[in-house]
Protein backbone atom coordinates (compact mmCIF):
# COMPACT_ATOMS: atom_id res chain seq x y z
CA UNK A 1 0.00 0.00 0.00
CA UNK A 2 2.82 2.41 0.80
CA UNK A 3 4.39 1.85 -2.61
CA UNK A 4 1.13 2.64 -4.39
CA UNK A 5 0.68 5.90 -2.48
CA UNK A 6 4.29 6.92 -3.12
CA UNK A 7 3.98 6.19 -6.83
CA UNK A 8 0.75 8.20 -7.03
CA UNK A 9 2.41 11.08 -5.18
CA UNK A 10 5.40 11.09 -7.52
CA UNK A 11 3.14 10.98 -10.57
CA UNK A 12 1.13 13.96 -9.38
CA UNK A 13 4.28 16.02 -8.75
CA UNK A 14 5.70 15.26 -12.20
CA UNK A 15 2.49 15.84 -14.14
CA UNK A 16 1.68 19.26 -12.73
CA UNK A 17 -1.64 20.74 -11.79
CA UNK A 18 -4.72 20.39 -13.97
CA UNK A 19 -8.20 21.66 -13.12
CA UNK A 20 -10.08 20.20 -16.09
CA UNK A 21 -10.20 16.57 -17.11
CA UNK A 22 -9.16 16.87 -20.76
CA UNK A 23 -5.71 18.44 -20.35
CA UNK A 24 -2.59 16.39 -21.06
CA UNK A 25 1.15 16.64 -20.35
CA UNK A 26 3.79 14.31 -21.83
CA UNK A 27 7.30 14.85 -20.43
CA UNK A 28 10.62 13.00 -20.34
CA UNK A 29 13.60 14.07 -18.25
CA UNK A 30 17.09 12.62 -18.60
CA UNK A 31 19.96 13.78 -16.41
CA UNK A 32 20.09 15.36 -12.99
CA UNK A 33 18.37 18.24 -11.20
CA UNK A 34 15.95 19.11 -14.02
CA UNK A 35 12.68 20.79 -13.03
CA UNK A 36 9.40 20.94 -14.96
CA UNK A 37 6.31 22.67 -13.54
CA UNK A 38 2.98 23.11 -15.27
CA UNK A 39 -0.43 24.54 -14.49
CA UNK A 40 -3.37 23.91 -16.80
CA UNK A 41 -6.75 25.60 -16.30
CA UNK A 42 -9.46 25.03 -18.89
CA UNK A 43 -10.19 22.28 -21.38
CA UNK A 44 -8.25 20.68 -24.20
CA UNK A 45 -4.85 22.09 -23.24
CA UNK A 46 -1.89 19.91 -24.19
CA UNK A 47 1.85 20.00 -23.60
CA UNK A 48 3.42 17.77 -26.23
CA UNK A 49 1.91 14.46 -27.35
CA UNK A 50 2.45 10.84 -26.45
CA UNK A 51 4.48 10.34 -29.62
CA UNK A 52 6.38 13.66 -29.37
CA UNK A 53 7.06 14.23 -25.68
CA UNK A 54 8.52 17.34 -24.12
CA UNK A 55 12.09 16.68 -23.01
CA UNK A 56 14.76 18.02 -20.72
CA UNK A 57 18.13 16.38 -21.22
CA UNK A 58 21.18 17.37 -19.20
CA UNK A 59 21.25 19.07 -15.83
CA UNK A 60 19.77 21.96 -13.91
CA UNK A 61 17.29 22.84 -16.67
CA UNK A 62 14.00 24.44 -15.58
CA UNK A 63 10.70 24.90 -17.37
CA UNK A 64 7.53 26.55 -16.07
CA UNK A 65 4.53 26.36 -18.40
CA UNK A 66 1.06 27.74 -17.65
CA UNK A 67 -2.02 27.30 -19.81
CA UNK A 68 -5.25 29.18 -19.02
CA UNK A 69 -8.20 28.90 -21.38
CA UNK A 70 -9.11 26.23 -23.88
CA UNK A 71 -7.35 24.32 -26.65
CA UNK A 72 -3.85 25.73 -26.09
CA UNK A 73 -0.95 23.62 -27.32
CA UNK A 74 2.78 23.48 -26.59
CA UNK A 75 3.90 21.56 -29.66
CA UNK A 76 7.63 21.24 -29.05
CA UNK A 77 9.22 21.75 -25.66
CA UNK A 78 12.89 20.74 -25.60
CA UNK A 79 15.89 21.73 -23.53
CA UNK A 80 19.31 20.11 -23.93
CA UNK A 81 22.43 20.99 -21.96
CA UNK A 82 22.81 22.67 -18.61
CA UNK A 83 21.24 25.58 -16.77
CA UNK A 84 18.65 26.49 -19.41
CA UNK A 85 15.40 28.21 -18.32
CA UNK A 86 12.03 28.44 -20.07
CA UNK A 87 8.89 30.23 -18.94
CA UNK A 88 5.74 30.00 -21.03
CA UNK A 89 2.26 31.43 -20.49
CA UNK A 90 -0.76 30.91 -22.69
CA UNK A 91 -3.77 32.92 -21.48
CA UNK A 92 -6.61 32.63 -23.98
CA UNK A 93 -7.74 30.07 -26.51
CA UNK A 94 -6.18 28.19 -29.44
CA UNK A 95 -2.62 29.43 -28.84
CA UNK A 96 0.40 27.42 -30.02
CA UNK A 97 3.95 27.54 -28.64
CA UNK A 98 7.13 25.68 -29.60
CA UNK A 99 10.60 26.07 -28.17
CA UNK A 100 13.97 24.37 -28.32
CA UNK A 101 17.05 25.39 -26.36
CA UNK A 102 20.43 23.73 -26.39
CA UNK A 103 23.70 24.59 -24.73
CA UNK A 104 24.33 26.35 -21.46
CA UNK A 105 22.58 29.18 -19.63
CA UNK A 106 19.94 30.05 -22.23
CA UNK A 107 16.71 31.77 -21.17
CA UNK A 108 13.38 31.84 -22.98
CA UNK A 109 10.19 33.69 -22.05
CA UNK A 110 7.05 33.47 -24.17
CA UNK A 111 3.74 35.05 -23.13
CA UNK A 112 0.58 34.80 -25.20
CA UNK A 113 -2.60 36.72 -24.29
CA UNK A 114 -5.75 36.39 -26.38
CA UNK A 115 -6.54 33.87 -29.07
CA UNK A 116 -4.78 32.19 -32.01
CA UNK A 117 -1.22 33.35 -31.23
CA UNK A 118 1.78 31.34 -32.45
CA UNK A 119 5.29 31.51 -30.99
CA UNK A 120 8.24 29.42 -32.25
CA UNK A 121 11.78 29.87 -30.99
CA UNK A 122 15.02 27.96 -31.13
CA UNK A 123 18.35 28.94 -29.64
CA UNK A 124 21.61 27.09 -29.16
CA UNK A 125 24.91 28.05 -27.61
CA UNK A 126 25.75 29.94 -24.46
CA UNK A 127 23.87 32.70 -22.62
CA UNK A 128 21.24 33.43 -25.26
CA UNK A 129 17.90 34.96 -24.32
CA UNK A 130 14.47 35.15 -25.93
CA UNK A 131 11.51 37.21 -24.75
CA UNK A 132 8.23 37.27 -26.71
CA UNK A 133 4.96 38.96 -25.82
CA UNK A 134 1.85 38.50 -27.95
CA UNK A 135 -1.48 40.22 -27.24
CA UNK A 136 -4.67 40.55 -29.20
| 29-58: pLDDT as tens digits | 999 999 999 999 999 999 999 888 999 999
Dihedral (Cα; 56, 59, 60, 66), 10-degree rounding: 0
Max Cα-Cα span within the chain? 50
- For residue 83, the model assigns a pLDDT of 97
- Find, among 75, 119, 122, the residue nearest to 102 by Cα: 122
- φ, ψ for residue 122 (rounded to 5)? -145, 130
Which sequence spans correspond to the domains of the chain? 24-135
- Find, among 96, 40, 90, 37, the residue nearest to 62 by Cα: 37
pTM of the model as a whole = 0.82
| C-alpha atoms less than 13 angstroms from C-alpha of 83 in its C-beta half-sphere | 9
User: What's the mean per-residue pLDDT of the chain?
Assistant: 88
| 63-98: pLDDT as tens digits | 999 999 999 999 999 999 999 999 999 999 999 999
Amino acid sequence: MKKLILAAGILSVMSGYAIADSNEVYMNQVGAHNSFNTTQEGDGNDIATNGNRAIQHGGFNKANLTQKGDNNFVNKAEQYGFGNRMTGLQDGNHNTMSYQQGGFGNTGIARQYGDYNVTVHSQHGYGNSFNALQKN
